[in-house]
């Protein structure tokens, strides 16, 4: 009977893609896990100690919805230094995900169209649908570069905004300053909101990170501590943008997440002072290793950021290829989880050198011997 009570909103969200991988994974012993977008490096020690100290000193209750003053002020100083000619407000959120939820619920009305670049972080599509909006996908294959002309062609009278993500999950692609500026100016010209997910901005290799907020002050930026400081489970993020939008996001947070965990907010103040340059070098080295070992077997657009590769499968579909990989104890994610196409797979190199070496061995064998288990 309970089935009849489930809302269309919930039914419209399909979590089956990643769930199938994890269901299969649960039956494996010692899997080679290259599926998780979670840094394998540890949280900075000073941040751990700051969190422990906050707990022991009684900082365990609710905070104001916007976040504790010292953390907001520290982040606002950073934002003001980056955008000195703008007046931007800031809210502490329950993870970057929390910031995305609040931003989309604030900006999207039922029937609004929102442009999303394909491949895309899976959450964008579903959050737009949850808000009653209509995702409109702009193809970036095969090089995962953004063509402003394609974006312009996708805009209709119902278009409300554009979501950008650079460095990108799942591709690792980094938008050039020229691409970013073109999209920002197009959004400004058409009066669209721009939502920029910048949680991987600290992990850029050869290229230079650029935010659309540099060219368009109406951009809402979401960011967080999960990827830069390995604080995925701590649920600490933030968003900044025009005051009117941030105030509405704060109102919605009051009636949803309430606030980010207080001890973690105090730890965030300390984490911001941690030197994470070595982390970038570790991920760069891992990426270079994978490209060196796999490029003879896979078509891999060079990924310049984050910790993902999105190779084209050498045979079959993304789904059949991943099923075969899992039969050989290798966990990767089929590309159709992140895309309307089923031609690629996502590989995360947020894993130990030993795990990567085992994964490389299986991936080479998969390319040479496609269907050993069938």
- The pLDDT assigned to 28 comes to 77
Examine residue 142 and say whether the peptide bond preceding it is cis (omega within 30 degrees of 0).
yes
- The pLDDT assigned to 24 comes to 67
- The pLDDT assigned to 374 comes to 44
Same domain, 200 and 121: yes
Same domain, 134 and 159: yes
- The pLDDT assigned to 30 comes to 83
CA of residue 150 relative to chain centroid, distance: 23
Q: Is the dihedral of CA 15, 21, 23, 25 positive or negative?
A: negative
- The pLDDT assigned to 111 comes to 97
pTM, two decimal places: 0.94
* Six-digit token string for 93: 């959120």
Give the other-Cβ count within 10 Å of 40's Cβ. 17
> Using N-to-C axis directions, what is the helix angle for 353-368 and 277-294, rounded to 10°?
20
Do 311 and 298 form a contact (C-beta atoms < 8 A)?
A: yes
- The pLDDT assigned to 15 comes to 66
* Residue 202 lies in domain: 45-271
* DSSP secondary structure string for all residues of 253-272: HHTTT-S--HHHHHHHHHHT
Q: In whole angstroms, give the CA distance from residue 34 to residue 348.
A: 5
Q: Look at residues 271, 302, 318 and tell me which one is the last residue of a structural domain.
A: 271
Same domain, 110 and 124: yes
Give the other-Cβ count within 10 Å of 173's Cβ. 28
Q: Look at residues 271, 294, 315 and tell me which one is the last residue of a structural domain.
A: 271
Tell which residue, 256, 224, 261, 236, has the closest CA to residue 102. 256
Same domain, 12 and 77: no
Split the chain (374 residues) into runs of 10 and give each run's mean pLDDT: 83 69 72 91 96 98 97 98 96 97 98 98 95 97 95 98 98 96 97 98 93 97 95 96 98 97 98 92 96 97 94 96 94 96 97 96 94 56
CATH number at residue 33: 3.90.1150.10
316, exposed or middle or buried, with CB in 10 Å at 0-12, 13-18, 19+? middle
- The pLDDT assigned to 25 comes to 67
Same domain, 286 and 239: no
Q: Look at residues 271, 286, 304 and tell me which one is the last residue of a structural domain.
A: 271
Q: Is position 91 within any domain? A: yes
Give the other-Cβ count within 10 Å of 5's Cβ. 7
Name, in order, each residue with C-beta under 8 angstroms of 108's C-beta and a sequence gap of 6 or more. Answer: 114, 128, 131, 132, 133, 160, 161
Give the other-Cβ count within 10 Å of 294's Cβ. 19
- The pLDDT assigned to 277 comes to 86
Same domain, 178 and 59: yes
Q: What are 220's strand-pairing partners?
A: 195
Same domain, 27 and 132: no
Q: Is position 373 within any domain? A: no
β-bridge pairing 219-224 and 32-33: unpaired
Radius of gyration of the chain (CA): 21
**What domain count does the chain have?**
2
Tell which residue, 169, 173, 181, 240, has the closest CA to residue 204. 173
For the chain, where are the E strands, in sequence order? Answer: 32-33, 89-93, 113-118, 134-139, 159-165, 193-197, 219-224, 237-241, 308-309, 330-331, 333-334, 345-348
CATH number at residue 139: 3.40.640.10
Q: Kindly report the backbone phi and psi dihedral angles of residue 274, in degrees, each rounded to the nearest multiple of 5, phi listed first.
A: -75, 145
Do 297 and 101 form a contact (C-beta atoms < 8 A)?
A: no
Q: In whole angstroms, give the CA distance from residue 209 to residue 42.
A: 24
Same domain, 305 and 231: no
């Amino acid at each position: 009977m309970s089935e009849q009570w489930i809302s269309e909103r919930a039914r419209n969200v399909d979590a089956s893609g990643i769930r199938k991988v994890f269901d299969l994974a649960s039956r494996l012993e010692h899997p080679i896990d290259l599926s998780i977008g979670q840094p394998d490096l540890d949280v900075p020690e000073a941040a751990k100690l700051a969190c422990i100290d906050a707990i022991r000193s009684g900082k365990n209750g609710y905070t104001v919805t916007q976040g504790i003053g010292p953390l907001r002020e520290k982040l606002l100083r950073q934002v003001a230094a980056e955008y000195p000619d703008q007046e931007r407000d800031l809210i502490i959120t329950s993870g970057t995900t929390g910031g995305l939820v609040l931003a989309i619920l604030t900006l999207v009305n039922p029937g609004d169209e929102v442009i999303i670049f394909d491949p895309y972080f899976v959450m964008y599509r579903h959050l737009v649908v949850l808000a009653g909006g209509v995702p409109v996908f702009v193809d970036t294959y095969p090089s995962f570069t953004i063509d402003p002309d394609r974006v312009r062609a996708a805009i209709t009278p119902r278009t409300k905004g554009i979501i950008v993500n650079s460095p990108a999950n799942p591709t690792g692609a980094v938008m050039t300053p020229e691409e970013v500026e073109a999209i920002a100016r197009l959004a400004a010209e058409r009066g669209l909101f721009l939502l920029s997910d910048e949680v991987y901005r600290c992990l850029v290799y050869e290229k230079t990170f650029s935010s659309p907020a540099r060219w368009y002050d109406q951009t809402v930026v979401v960011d967080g501590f999960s990827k830069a400081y390995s604080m995925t489970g701590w649920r600490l993020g933030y968003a900044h943008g025009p005051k009117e939008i941030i105030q509405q996001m704060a109102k919605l947070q009051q009636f949803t997440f309430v606030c980010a965990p207080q001890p973690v907010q105090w730890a965030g103040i300390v984490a911001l002072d941690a030197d994470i340059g070595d982390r970038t070098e570790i991920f760069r080295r891992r990426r270079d290793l994978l490209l060196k070992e796999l490029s003879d077997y896979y078509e891999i657009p060079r990924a310049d950021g984050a910790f993902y590769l999105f190779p084209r499968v050498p045979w079959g579909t993304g789904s059949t290829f991943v099923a075969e990989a899992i039969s050989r104890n290798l966990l990767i994610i089929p590309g159709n989880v992140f895309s309307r196409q089923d031609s690629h797979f996502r590989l995360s190199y947020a894993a130990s050198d030993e795990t990567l070496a085992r994964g490389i061995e299986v991936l080479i064998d998969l390319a040479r011997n496609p269907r050993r288990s069938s």
